[in-house]
Amino acid sequence: MNYIITGRNFTSPMLHELDGLFGIKVLTEEKLRESDIFFNQDDKLYVPSQSSLELVMERIRCPQRLRAIELLSDKYQCRSIMKPLFPDFHFEASILSEMKEDMFVRGRKYIIKPSKGFFGVGVKTVEKPTDIHRFKDEIQQELDLNRQIFSERVFSNELIIEPFIEGDEYAVDMFYSEKGEPVIANITYHPLPRKKEYHHVLYYTSHRIFQQLYPQVESFFTRLNSILNLHSFPIHAEFKLERGKELLPVELNPLRYGGFGLTDLSYYAFGQCPYFCFFQDQKYHWKSLWNEHRQNKYYAWVLAYNGTEVDMERVNINHAHTKLRAFIGDKPLLHYQALDYRNNPVFAIAYLAEEKEHRLTRWLDVDFNDFFL
Protein backbone atom coordinates (compact mmCIF):
# COMPACT_ATOMS: atom_id res chain seq x y z
CA MET A 1 0.00 0.00 0.00
CA ASN A 2 1.09 3.60 -0.63
CA TYR A 3 0.52 6.16 2.12
CA ILE A 4 0.77 9.95 2.40
CA ILE A 5 0.41 11.18 5.99
CA THR A 6 -0.31 14.90 6.16
CA GLY A 7 0.32 17.07 9.22
CA ARG A 8 -0.01 20.61 10.48
CA ASN A 9 2.31 22.23 7.94
CA PHE A 10 1.52 23.21 4.34
CA THR A 11 0.76 20.23 2.13
CA SER A 12 1.24 20.42 -1.63
CA PRO A 13 -2.12 20.25 -3.49
CA MET A 14 -0.51 17.62 -5.73
CA LEU A 15 -0.47 15.18 -2.82
CA HIS A 16 -4.23 15.46 -2.32
CA GLU A 17 -4.79 14.98 -6.05
CA LEU A 18 -3.08 11.58 -5.79
CA ASP A 19 -5.54 10.27 -3.20
CA GLY A 20 -7.12 7.06 -4.50
CA LEU A 21 -4.79 6.84 -7.52
CA PHE A 22 -2.07 4.19 -7.94
CA GLY A 23 -3.01 2.61 -4.62
CA ILE A 24 -2.25 5.83 -2.73
CA LYS A 25 -4.14 6.61 0.46
CA VAL A 26 -3.90 10.14 1.93
CA LEU A 27 -4.45 10.33 5.69
CA THR A 28 -4.25 13.18 8.18
CA GLU A 29 -2.49 12.69 11.51
CA GLU A 30 -5.89 12.52 13.18
CA LYS A 31 -7.21 9.84 10.81
CA LEU A 32 -4.07 7.77 11.26
CA ARG A 33 -4.30 8.05 15.04
CA GLU A 34 -7.91 6.84 14.94
CA SER A 35 -7.07 3.93 12.63
CA ASP A 36 -5.52 0.52 13.21
CA ILE A 37 -3.05 1.02 10.31
CA PHE A 38 0.53 -0.15 10.70
CA PHE A 39 3.25 0.15 8.05
CA ASN A 40 5.11 -2.91 6.82
CA GLN A 41 8.24 -3.36 4.75
CA ASP A 42 6.38 -3.28 1.42
CA ASP A 43 4.39 -0.10 2.18
CA LYS A 44 5.63 3.13 0.61
CA LEU A 45 5.50 6.16 2.91
CA TYR A 46 5.62 9.89 2.23
CA VAL A 47 5.38 12.22 5.25
CA PRO A 48 5.46 15.90 4.18
CA SER A 49 5.12 17.36 7.69
CA GLN A 50 7.59 16.96 10.53
CA SER A 51 4.67 17.03 12.95
CA SER A 52 3.48 13.64 11.63
CA LEU A 53 6.80 11.83 11.78
CA GLU A 54 6.65 10.72 15.40
CA LEU A 55 3.21 9.15 14.98
CA VAL A 56 4.29 7.41 11.76
CA MET A 57 7.36 5.99 13.48
CA GLU A 58 5.14 4.46 16.16
CA ARG A 59 3.27 2.57 13.43
CA ILE A 60 6.27 1.25 11.46
CA ARG A 61 6.76 -2.52 11.69
CA CYS A 62 10.00 -2.63 9.68
CA PRO A 63 13.01 -2.34 12.06
CA GLN A 64 15.49 -1.44 9.29
CA ARG A 65 13.36 1.45 8.01
CA LEU A 66 12.63 2.68 11.53
CA ARG A 67 16.32 2.61 12.41
CA ALA A 68 17.16 4.61 9.27
CA ILE A 69 14.58 7.28 10.14
CA GLU A 70 15.98 7.55 13.67
CA LEU A 71 19.56 7.85 12.37
CA LEU A 72 18.74 10.49 9.77
CA SER A 73 16.50 12.50 12.11
CA ASP A 74 19.24 12.81 14.71
CA LYS A 75 21.97 15.06 13.34
CA TYR A 76 24.67 13.67 15.62
CA GLN A 77 23.87 10.06 14.75
CA CYS A 78 23.63 11.03 11.09
CA ARG A 79 27.11 12.55 11.19
CA SER A 80 28.35 9.44 12.98
CA ILE A 81 27.16 6.99 10.31
CA MET A 82 28.67 9.24 7.60
CA LYS A 83 32.06 9.28 9.30
CA PRO A 84 33.52 6.69 6.85
CA LEU A 85 32.51 8.99 3.96
CA PHE A 86 34.03 12.14 5.51
CA PRO A 87 36.77 10.93 7.92
CA ASP A 88 38.35 14.40 8.33
CA PHE A 89 35.13 16.15 9.38
CA HIS A 90 35.13 16.63 13.17
CA PHE A 91 32.05 17.13 15.35
CA GLU A 92 30.89 16.50 18.91
CA ALA A 93 27.73 16.32 20.98
CA SER A 94 26.75 18.36 24.03
CA ILE A 95 23.78 18.91 26.29
CA LEU A 96 22.56 22.51 26.07
CA SER A 97 23.02 23.16 29.79
CA GLU A 98 26.58 21.76 29.72
CA MET A 99 27.91 23.74 26.75
CA LYS A 100 30.96 25.80 27.77
CA GLU A 101 33.39 28.30 26.27
CA ASP A 102 36.34 25.90 26.34
CA MET A 103 34.56 23.65 23.82
CA PHE A 104 35.27 26.28 21.15
CA VAL A 105 38.67 27.32 19.79
CA ARG A 106 39.13 31.07 19.49
CA GLY A 107 39.49 32.17 15.86
CA ARG A 108 37.39 29.30 14.48
CA LYS A 109 33.77 29.43 13.39
CA TYR A 110 31.23 26.82 14.48
CA ILE A 111 27.62 25.81 13.96
CA ILE A 112 25.59 24.58 16.92
CA LYS A 113 22.15 23.06 16.42
CA PRO A 114 19.76 20.67 18.13
CA SER A 115 20.47 17.07 17.21
CA LYS A 116 16.75 16.81 16.48
CA GLY A 117 14.96 19.76 14.91
CA PHE A 118 14.05 21.45 11.64
CA PHE A 119 13.41 24.78 9.87
CA GLY A 120 16.46 26.39 11.50
CA VAL A 121 15.08 26.30 15.06
CA GLY A 122 17.94 26.66 17.57
CA VAL A 123 20.64 26.85 14.90
CA LYS A 124 23.39 29.34 15.73
CA THR A 125 26.72 30.39 14.23
CA VAL A 126 29.43 30.79 16.89
CA GLU A 127 32.22 33.19 15.90
CA LYS A 128 33.79 33.61 19.34
CA PRO A 129 33.52 31.39 22.46
CA THR A 130 31.81 34.08 24.55
CA ASP A 131 28.84 33.97 22.13
CA ILE A 132 27.56 30.77 23.66
CA HIS A 133 26.22 32.37 26.87
CA ARG A 134 23.74 34.41 24.85
CA PHE A 135 23.01 31.57 22.44
CA LYS A 136 22.18 29.10 25.23
CA ASP A 137 19.30 31.29 26.37
CA GLU A 138 18.13 31.96 22.81
CA ILE A 139 18.19 28.26 21.89
CA GLN A 140 16.25 27.31 25.03
CA GLN A 141 13.60 29.93 24.27
CA GLU A 142 13.25 28.72 20.67
CA LEU A 143 12.98 25.09 21.77
CA ASP A 144 10.41 25.88 24.45
CA LEU A 145 8.32 27.84 21.96
CA ASN A 146 8.33 25.06 19.36
CA ARG A 147 7.65 22.33 21.92
CA GLN A 148 4.24 23.90 22.38
CA ILE A 149 3.51 22.46 18.92
CA PHE A 150 5.98 19.58 18.54
CA SER A 151 7.16 16.97 21.02
CA GLU A 152 10.52 16.24 22.66
CA ARG A 153 11.21 13.66 19.94
CA VAL A 154 11.09 16.42 17.31
CA PHE A 155 13.23 18.99 19.19
CA SER A 156 15.90 17.88 21.66
CA ASN A 157 18.17 19.61 24.20
CA GLU A 158 21.08 17.62 22.83
CA LEU A 159 23.23 19.67 20.47
CA ILE A 160 25.74 18.89 17.77
CA ILE A 161 28.77 21.18 17.51
CA GLU A 162 30.60 21.18 14.19
CA PRO A 163 32.86 23.48 12.17
CA PHE A 164 31.05 26.09 10.10
CA ILE A 165 31.04 24.82 6.53
CA GLU A 166 31.89 27.65 4.18
CA GLY A 167 30.45 27.84 0.69
CA ASP A 168 27.19 27.97 -1.20
CA GLU A 169 24.06 26.19 0.01
CA TYR A 170 22.15 23.67 -2.10
CA ALA A 171 19.04 21.59 -1.51
CA VAL A 172 18.40 18.16 -3.02
CA ASP A 173 15.20 16.13 -3.13
CA MET A 174 15.61 12.46 -4.00
CA PHE A 175 14.35 8.97 -3.32
CA TYR A 176 15.85 5.52 -3.27
CA SER A 177 14.13 3.31 -5.83
CA GLU A 178 12.71 -0.14 -5.15
CA LYS A 179 16.18 -1.45 -6.08
CA GLY A 180 17.94 0.99 -3.73
CA GLU A 181 19.26 3.25 -6.49
CA PRO A 182 19.24 7.05 -5.95
CA VAL A 183 16.73 8.98 -8.09
CA ILE A 184 17.33 12.75 -8.04
CA ALA A 185 14.12 14.79 -8.24
CA ASN A 186 15.48 18.29 -7.65
CA ILE A 187 18.74 20.20 -7.16
CA THR A 188 18.41 23.87 -6.20
CA TYR A 189 20.76 26.65 -5.21
CA HIS A 190 19.86 28.51 -2.02
CA PRO A 191 21.42 31.99 -1.95
CA LEU A 192 21.07 33.87 1.34
CA PRO A 193 18.91 37.02 1.47
CA ARG A 194 19.87 40.36 2.96
CA LYS A 195 17.29 39.93 5.75
CA LYS A 196 17.93 36.72 7.69
CA GLU A 197 14.24 36.46 8.68
CA TYR A 198 13.55 35.70 4.99
CA HIS A 199 16.02 32.81 5.05
CA HIS A 200 14.09 30.49 2.70
CA VAL A 201 12.86 33.14 0.24
CA LEU A 202 14.61 31.77 -2.88
CA TYR A 203 15.76 28.45 -4.30
CA TYR A 204 16.50 28.04 -7.99
CA THR A 205 18.04 25.69 -10.50
CA SER A 206 19.61 25.77 -13.94
CA HIS A 207 21.30 23.50 -16.46
CA ARG A 208 24.69 24.67 -15.19
CA ILE A 209 23.82 23.77 -11.59
CA PHE A 210 22.74 20.27 -12.64
CA GLN A 211 25.85 19.74 -14.73
CA GLN A 212 28.06 20.82 -11.87
CA LEU A 213 26.41 18.94 -9.01
CA TYR A 214 24.51 15.93 -10.33
CA PRO A 215 27.51 13.53 -10.43
CA GLN A 216 28.54 14.46 -6.86
CA VAL A 217 24.98 14.20 -5.54
CA GLU A 218 24.39 10.81 -7.15
CA SER A 219 27.75 9.54 -5.87
CA PHE A 220 27.03 10.68 -2.31
CA PHE A 221 23.64 8.98 -2.13
CA THR A 222 25.04 5.80 -3.68
CA ARG A 223 27.75 5.67 -1.01
CA LEU A 224 25.28 6.52 1.74
CA ASN A 225 23.08 3.60 0.77
CA SER A 226 26.00 1.22 1.06
CA ILE A 227 25.61 2.02 4.78
CA LEU A 228 21.81 2.30 5.13
CA ASN A 229 20.59 -0.15 2.45
CA LEU A 230 17.30 1.72 1.89
CA HIS A 231 14.58 1.05 -0.67
CA SER A 232 11.56 3.20 -1.65
CA PHE A 233 12.63 6.00 0.68
CA PRO A 234 12.46 9.79 -0.01
CA ILE A 235 14.97 12.26 1.49
CA HIS A 236 15.33 16.04 1.53
CA ALA A 237 19.01 16.96 1.88
CA GLU A 238 20.92 20.19 2.36
CA PHE A 239 24.53 20.60 1.28
CA LYS A 240 27.34 23.15 1.32
CA LEU A 241 29.88 23.49 -1.48
CA GLU A 242 33.07 25.44 -0.92
CA ARG A 243 34.93 26.45 -4.07
CA GLY A 244 37.25 23.69 -5.21
CA LYS A 245 36.17 21.28 -2.47
CA GLU A 246 33.84 18.32 -1.98
CA LEU A 247 30.08 18.68 -1.60
CA LEU A 248 29.34 18.27 2.13
CA PRO A 249 25.94 17.29 3.59
CA VAL A 250 24.51 19.62 6.23
CA GLU A 251 21.43 17.57 7.10
CA LEU A 252 19.20 14.80 5.76
CA ASN A 253 15.43 14.73 6.38
CA PRO A 254 13.75 11.32 6.01
CA LEU A 255 10.48 10.38 4.28
CA ARG A 256 9.88 13.74 2.62
CA TYR A 257 11.04 16.32 0.12
CA GLY A 258 11.58 20.03 0.79
CA GLY A 259 8.87 21.86 2.72
CA PHE A 260 6.24 24.24 1.32
CA GLY A 261 6.20 22.50 -2.06
CA LEU A 262 9.85 23.15 -2.94
CA THR A 263 10.19 19.99 -4.99
CA ASP A 264 6.99 20.83 -6.92
CA LEU A 265 9.35 23.02 -8.94
CA SER A 266 10.31 19.88 -10.88
CA TYR A 267 6.69 19.58 -11.98
CA TYR A 268 6.14 23.20 -13.03
CA ALA A 269 9.54 23.39 -14.75
CA PHE A 270 9.87 19.90 -16.25
CA GLY A 271 6.40 18.32 -16.09
CA GLN A 272 7.62 15.58 -13.72
CA CYS A 273 5.48 15.01 -10.61
CA PRO A 274 7.99 14.09 -7.86
CA TYR A 275 5.38 12.23 -5.79
CA PHE A 276 4.11 10.17 -8.75
CA CYS A 277 7.71 9.27 -9.63
CA PHE A 278 8.34 8.07 -6.08
CA PHE A 279 5.21 5.96 -5.74
CA GLN A 280 5.48 4.57 -9.29
CA ASP A 281 9.26 4.06 -9.05
CA GLN A 282 9.97 6.18 -12.14
CA LYS A 283 13.35 7.68 -12.91
CA TYR A 284 14.05 11.21 -14.12
CA HIS A 285 15.73 11.39 -17.51
CA TRP A 286 17.57 14.63 -16.91
CA LYS A 287 19.51 14.71 -20.19
CA SER A 288 16.28 14.94 -22.17
CA LEU A 289 14.50 17.15 -19.60
CA TRP A 290 17.23 19.76 -19.92
CA ASN A 291 16.45 20.20 -23.62
CA GLU A 292 17.32 23.18 -25.82
CA HIS A 293 14.23 25.05 -24.68
CA ARG A 294 15.13 24.79 -20.98
CA GLN A 295 18.92 25.04 -21.00
CA ASN A 296 18.91 28.84 -21.07
CA LYS A 297 16.36 29.34 -18.30
CA TYR A 298 16.48 29.62 -14.53
CA TYR A 299 13.68 27.89 -12.65
CA ALA A 300 12.84 29.19 -9.19
CA TRP A 301 10.71 28.66 -6.12
CA VAL A 302 9.95 31.84 -4.17
CA LEU A 303 8.48 31.90 -0.66
CA ALA A 304 6.65 35.15 0.09
CA TYR A 305 6.82 36.03 3.79
CA ASN A 306 4.20 37.80 5.88
CA GLY A 307 4.86 41.42 6.81
CA THR A 308 6.77 41.81 10.07
CA GLU A 309 5.99 45.50 10.51
CA VAL A 310 2.25 45.39 9.83
CA ASP A 311 -0.77 44.09 11.72
CA MET A 312 -1.45 40.86 9.83
CA GLU A 313 -4.89 40.66 11.43
CA ARG A 314 -5.96 43.80 9.60
CA VAL A 315 -4.23 43.49 6.22
CA ASN A 316 -5.99 43.32 2.86
CA ILE A 317 -4.45 40.06 1.70
CA ASN A 318 -5.90 40.35 -1.80
CA HIS A 319 -4.06 43.64 -2.19
CA ALA A 320 -0.80 41.93 -1.13
CA HIS A 321 -1.32 39.16 -3.70
CA THR A 322 -2.00 41.74 -6.43
CA LYS A 323 1.17 43.69 -5.61
CA LEU A 324 3.29 40.53 -5.45
CA ARG A 325 2.02 39.25 -8.80
CA ALA A 326 2.68 42.66 -10.36
CA PHE A 327 6.26 42.54 -9.01
CA ILE A 328 6.73 39.07 -10.53
CA GLY A 329 5.18 39.93 -13.89
CA ASP A 330 3.07 37.67 -16.10
CA LYS A 331 5.78 36.24 -18.35
CA PRO A 332 7.97 34.38 -15.80
CA LEU A 333 5.12 33.06 -13.62
CA LEU A 334 4.64 29.28 -13.95
CA HIS A 335 2.32 28.85 -10.99
CA TYR A 336 1.08 30.96 -8.06
CA GLN A 337 -0.05 29.36 -4.81
CA ALA A 338 -1.85 31.54 -2.26
CA LEU A 339 -1.44 30.33 1.34
CA ASP A 340 -3.38 30.83 4.55
CA TYR A 341 -1.28 33.64 6.02
CA ARG A 342 -3.09 33.32 9.38
CA ASN A 343 -1.70 29.80 9.95
CA ASN A 344 1.64 30.19 8.15
CA PRO A 345 4.55 32.64 8.36
CA VAL A 346 4.15 33.13 4.59
CA PHE A 347 1.30 34.14 2.31
CA ALA A 348 2.26 32.75 -1.12
CA ILE A 349 4.54 30.51 -3.14
CA ALA A 350 5.55 31.41 -6.68
CA TYR A 351 7.17 29.13 -9.28
CA LEU A 352 9.10 31.09 -11.90
CA ALA A 353 11.04 30.69 -15.13
CA GLU A 354 13.44 33.56 -15.81
CA GLU A 355 15.81 34.07 -18.71
CA LYS A 356 18.21 36.27 -16.70
CA GLU A 357 19.71 35.22 -13.37
CA HIS A 358 19.67 38.75 -11.95
CA ARG A 359 15.87 38.69 -12.20
CA LEU A 360 15.98 36.05 -9.47
CA THR A 361 18.69 37.49 -7.26
CA ARG A 362 16.61 40.66 -6.81
CA TRP A 363 14.47 38.59 -4.43
CA LEU A 364 17.39 38.62 -1.99
CA ASP A 365 16.80 42.34 -1.39
CA VAL A 366 12.98 42.30 -1.20
CA ASP A 367 11.24 43.67 1.89
CA PHE A 368 7.89 41.86 2.05
CA ASN A 369 6.43 44.58 4.26
CA ASP A 370 6.18 46.65 1.07
CA PHE A 371 3.50 44.34 -0.32
CA PHE A 372 1.21 45.12 2.63
CA LEU A 373 1.45 48.91 2.54
**Cα 299 from Cα 188, distance rounded (Å):** 9
Q: Are residues 120 and 6 in the same domain?
A: no
CATH of the domain at 128: 3.30.1490.20
pLDDT computed for residue 34 by the predictor: 96
Residue that terminates a domain, selected from 145, 163, 181 = 163
pLDDT computed for residue 309 by the predictor: 86
Evaluate whether residue 93 is within a structural domain: yes
Evaluate whether residue 182 is within a structural domain: yes
Q: What's the average model confidence in pLDDT over 49-55?
A: 87
Evaluate whether residue 80 is within a structural domain: no
- CA angle (235 as vertex; 73, 86 as ends), nearest 5: 70
Q: Are residues 11 and 111 in the same domain?
A: no
pLDDT computed for residue 312 by the predictor: 83
pLDDT computed for residue 151 by the predictor: 56
The pLDDT tens digits of the residues spanning 17-45 come to 999 999 999 999 999 999 999 999 999 99
Evaluate whether residue 239 is within a structural domain: yes
The pLDDT tens digits of the residues spanning 279-305 come to 999 999 999 999 999 999 999 999 999
| Displacement of CA 363 from its chain's centroid (Å) | 19
Q: What's the average model confidence in pLDDT over 77-83?
A: 94
**Cα 60 from Cα 331, distance rounded (Å):** 46
Q: Are residues 189 and 316 in the same domain?
A: yes
Q: Are residues 226 and 357 in the same domain?
A: yes
CATH of the domain at 230: 3.30.470.20
pLDDT computed for residue 41 by the predictor: 92
Confidence check: pLDDT of 273 > 90? yes
Q: Are residues 41 and 104 in the same domain?
A: no
Q: Are residues 52 and 14 in the same domain?
A: yes
pLDDT computed for residue 245 by the predictor: 85
pLDDT computed for residue 255 by the predictor: 97
Q: What is the rounded average pLDDT for all residues in the chain?
A: 91
Q: Are residues 109 and 173 in the same domain?
A: no
Q: Are residues 16 and 42 in the same domain?
A: yes
pLDDT computed for residue 96 by the predictor: 76
The pLDDT tens digits of the residues spanning 218-247 come to 999 999 999 999 999 999 999 999 887 889
Instruction: Count Cβ neighbours within 10 Å for each residue of 164-184 and write b for 16 or more, e otherwise.
Output: ebeeebbbbbbbbbeeeebbb
Instruction: Count Cβ neighbours within 10 Å for each residue of 263-301 and write b for 16 or more, e otherwise.
Output: bbbbbbbbebbbbbbbbeeeebeeeeebeeeeeebbbbb
Confidence check: pLDDT of 15 > 70? yes
Q: Do 341 and 321 form a contact (C-beta atoms < 8 A)?
A: no
Please name the residues in contact with 111: beta carbons below 8 A apart, sequence gap of 6 or more: 123, 124, 125, 126, 161, 162, 163, 164, 165
pLDDT computed for residue 310 by the predictor: 84
The predicted model scores a pTM of 0.92
Q: Are residues 235 and 360 in the same domain?
A: yes
Domain count, the chain: 3
Q: Which of 276, 286, 347 is nearest to 316 (CA)?
A: 347
Residue that terminates a domain, selected from 61, 77, 106 = 61
The pLDDT tens digits of the residues spanning 146-176 come to 655 555 556 667 888 999 989 999 999 999 9
pLDDT computed for residue 71 by the predictor: 94
Range of the domain at 364: 168-372
pLDDT computed for residue 155 by the predictor: 67
pLDDT computed for residue 69 by the predictor: 95
Residue 354: pLDDT band with limits 50, 70, 90: very high
